[in-house]
Amino acid sequence: MKATTPWILLDTETNGLTKPIFALDLAAQKMRGWKKSGKPFRLLLNHGCEIPPEASRVHGYTREILERDGSPPGEVYEAFAKYVGNLPVVAYNLEYDWDKVLLPEWERLGISQIGVPGFCALKLAQRLLDPVPAGNCKLQTLRQYYRLPENGAHTALGDVLTVVDLMQQVLKPLAERRGLNTWEKLVGFTGNEWFPSRVIFGKFKGRRYQEAREDAELMSWLEWLAESTNERSSAMGRWYLKQLKNGSGLEDAAFLDLQIQEDAGGTSVAAGLVVFQQPEMELYQRLVEAARNRLAELELEYGIEKSKVDSVRSKLFAALRTTYQERDRLRLLVQFRKAFIDRLLAEGEEAAGSTADDYQRESAEKDREYDSTASALEGKRELNEEETSRLKQLWKKLVRMFHPDLHEQDPEKRKTYELLTQAINEARDRGDIELLERIAKDPQAFILQQGWASVSLDAERGLKELRSLYEHLQARILEMIETLDELRASAEMEIFREVEQDEKVIDRIAAAQREELEQEIASLHAEAERVAEEARELAGEVPF
């Protein structure tokens, strides 16, 4: 679009998806073309409404926080109207922020519409990035995938600034390449009928519709879809067939990826975006190499973060093991004493007597599980700075061995690859730098020492195989980003952050958990005695 085109980019945080929906955090940024113009707008709103815990966990706002820091909605929207004027409004999910949040809220408050709807930035991303990255256009996933700055996820202003970065660094070059150089063209592009190039359901799920040119079965399925009685399915099928008829296909697809270079210290860094047209063998080789490096970085990051969580788990487990074991012993005791009574009444004393053997077996298995957990957590600790640096260097070297599906036609060699990958991942998670160094120094020797089948750690691939591998890696990258996000949002990671600030926190948490467990133990003990007394009345004794 033209550099002088003015518009507004906004975002809201709300009390959830259940109507009535209240905006709790409203932020906006004036734009000119693809660039920010002036200062952003941001205010919290105090509606005096209840905020469900699941919503608070996402954005962190509670009723108490908003009563303290929020402003009356009327005042917020009066200031917002002065900021926006009559400019068109864009949001990353315009249908939600505009249609489901702001318009109903303004009607509820008796406020006139502020600004006019522009286009949906999410739809722009979905269309420009299709089919990369693997159909997942969650804002925070794209931020991490393209290494955009961290601006404060799930705050209205943080998300607005992330969309600005996404537009400037990722979407702008693709839009300009498509000739989307005016506001009107962008609005039309995002508003036109569109479906993802990958089939999203059915027997051909994950396949690109363009492959129907060479796959008669896929073409037949698209024709069947076009005749569906379901209007949306039928529209999808007709759209795919129209694109094929008009000549749209893989040769027209724009592939976008991060160009990976190395700085003087040998660290992988993002050097910018590379837009590829008419992908060929050399292109996919570069894409695969960049994707493998990106996946390895994410896996390493996950391993380092997981070591922090495991260090907390280890300390809590050591402090609470005996209490947890007593709680679980009593749970098992109550369960099997009740089972004893049930079998006694249904099958008689002889059948009920076998319950004692079942109880002993389950009890021994539970003890083994505790021993196994203790063994797995033994020595878990957070890596220091020097160890982390060394681990990163080793991981960078070992990433050269990452070839998903390299030996899919040879089960024995495929097994070797899986075992090698497992050994490397487990060593990473343990922070076992010594083992990683041994594998990195001579991976073939390590493979032979384990008695595994010898494999080649490099291989030639055809274009079709490279495409498949690249898509596989893209999917794994997105999966790892989401896994990492879940770990960082976990309660145990929150505990680790608190312990970083104050080591005594772990003792207070353990004490609080022990108190809860002891209350449950007392209740279970009483229940176990009650059930035992019932068994004695029926059978004269209880065998355990």
Say if CB 139 and CB 58 are below 8 A apart: no
Length of the chain: 544
Domain holding 170, by residue range, is: 6-191
- Residue 385, token pair as written in the block: 């700075």
CB atoms within 10 A of CB 270: 15
What is the model's pTM? 0.69
Q: Is 500 exposed, middle or buried (0-12, 13-18, 19+ CB in 10 A)?
A: exposed
Say if CB 15 and CB 49 are below 8 A apart: yes
| Structural domain includes residue 260 | no
Q: Which of 377, 399, 421 is the last residue of a domain?
A: 377
Torsion of CA 451, 457, 463, 469, to 10 degrees: 70
| Structural domain includes residue 59 | yes
Is pLDDT at 291 greater than 90 in this prediction?
no
| Structural domain includes residue 68 | yes
Q: Which of 165, 191, 217 is the last residue of a domain?
A: 191
Give 221's contacts (C-beta < 8 A, 6+ positions apart): 202, 203, 204
| Structural domain includes residue 82 | yes
- Strands 6-14 and 23-32 come out as antiparallel
Query: Are residues 46 and 168 both part of a single domain?
Result: yes
Looking up tokens 């926190």, which residue turns up?
505
pLDDT tens figures, 149-202 = 888 777 999 999 999 999 999 999 999 988 999 999 999 999 999 999 888 888
Listed residue (544, 510, 526) closest to 324, CA to CA: 510
Q: How far apart are CA 119 and CA 94, in angstroms?
A: 7
Say if CB 85 and CB 113 are below 8 A apart: no
Q: Which of 377, 408, 431 is the last residue of a domain?
A: 377
| Structural domain includes residue 245 | yes
Query: Are residues 137 and 220 both part of a single domain?
Result: no
Per-residue pLDDT at 193 = 93
Query: Are residues 67 and 160 both part of a single domain?
Result: yes
Query: Are residues 22 and 76 both part of a single domain?
Result: yes
Among the residue ranges 188-197, 329-338, 500-509, the one predicted with the least confidence is 500-509
Q: How far apart are CA 340 and CA 539, in angstroms?
A: 10
Q: How far apart are CA 119 and CA 233, in angstroms?
A: 25
Q: What are the angstrom distances between the C-alpha of 272 and each of 34, 257, 291?
A: 17, 9, 14
Q: What are the angstrom distances between the C-alpha of 184 and each of 87, 94, 190?
A: 14, 17, 10
Query: Are residues 68 and 182 both part of a single domain?
Result: yes
Give the pLDDT band of residue 121 (cuts 50, 70, 90).
very high
Per-residue pLDDT at 308 = 83
| Structural domain includes residue 424 | no
Percent of the chain with pLDDT over 70: 86
Q: How far apart are CA 314 and CA 317, in angstroms?
A: 5
Looking up tokens 């969580």, which residue turns up?
309
Say if CB 498 and CB 308 are below 8 A apart: no
29 or 311, higher pLDDT: 29
Residue at 156: amino acid letter: A
Per-residue pLDDT at 418 = 76
Listed residue (213, 204, 292, 206) closest to 245, CA to CA: 213
- Residue 26, token pair as written in the block: 């409203």
Query: Are residues 58 and 90 both part of a single domain?
Result: yes
Query: Are residues 115 and 218 both part of a single domain?
Result: no
pLDDT tens figures, 255-290 = 444 433 333 333 433 444 555 444 567 777 777 777
| Per-range mean pLDDT, top range of 90-104, 149-163, 360-374 | 90-104
Is pLDDT at 252 greater than 70 in this prediction?
no
CB atoms within 10 A of CB 59: 19
Residue at 54: amino acid letter: E
Give the pLDDT band of residue 101 (cuts 50, 70, 90).
very high
Query: Are residues 67 and 174 both part of a single domain?
Result: yes
Say if CB 226 and CB 237 are below 8 A apart: yes
Give the pLDDT band of residue 79 (cuts 50, 70, 90).
very high
Q: How many domains does the chain have?
A: 3
254 or 335, higher pLDDT: 335
| Per-range mean pLDDT, top range of 247-261, 396-410, 460-474 | 460-474
Q: How far apart are CA 158 and CA 148, in angstroms?
A: 12
| Structural domain includes residue 130 | yes
Query: Are residues 34 and 159 both part of a single domain?
Result: yes
Query: Are residues 90 and 64 both part of a single domain?
Result: yes
Looking up tokens 């303290």, which residue turns up?
68
Among the residue ranges 29-38, 310-319, 424-433, the one predicted with the least confidence is 424-433
Give the pLDDT band of residue 350 (cuts 50, 70, 90).
confident
33: left (phi over 0), alpha (psi -120 to 50) or beta: left
| Structural domain includes residue 485 | no
Query: Are residues 183 and 224 both part of a single domain?
Result: no
Give the pLDDT band of residue 459 (cuts 50, 70, 90).
low
Among the residue ranges 11-20, 85-94, 190-199, 292-301, the one predicted with the least confidence is 292-301
Q: How far apart are CA 105 and CA 258, in angstroms?
A: 41
- Residue 53, token pair as written in the block: 């815990």
Q: What are the angstrom distances between the C-alpha of 490 and each of 314, 378, 487?
A: 16, 21, 5
Query: Are residues 43 and 70 both part of a single domain?
Result: yes
Torsion of CA 352, 353, 358, 359, to 10 degrees: 100
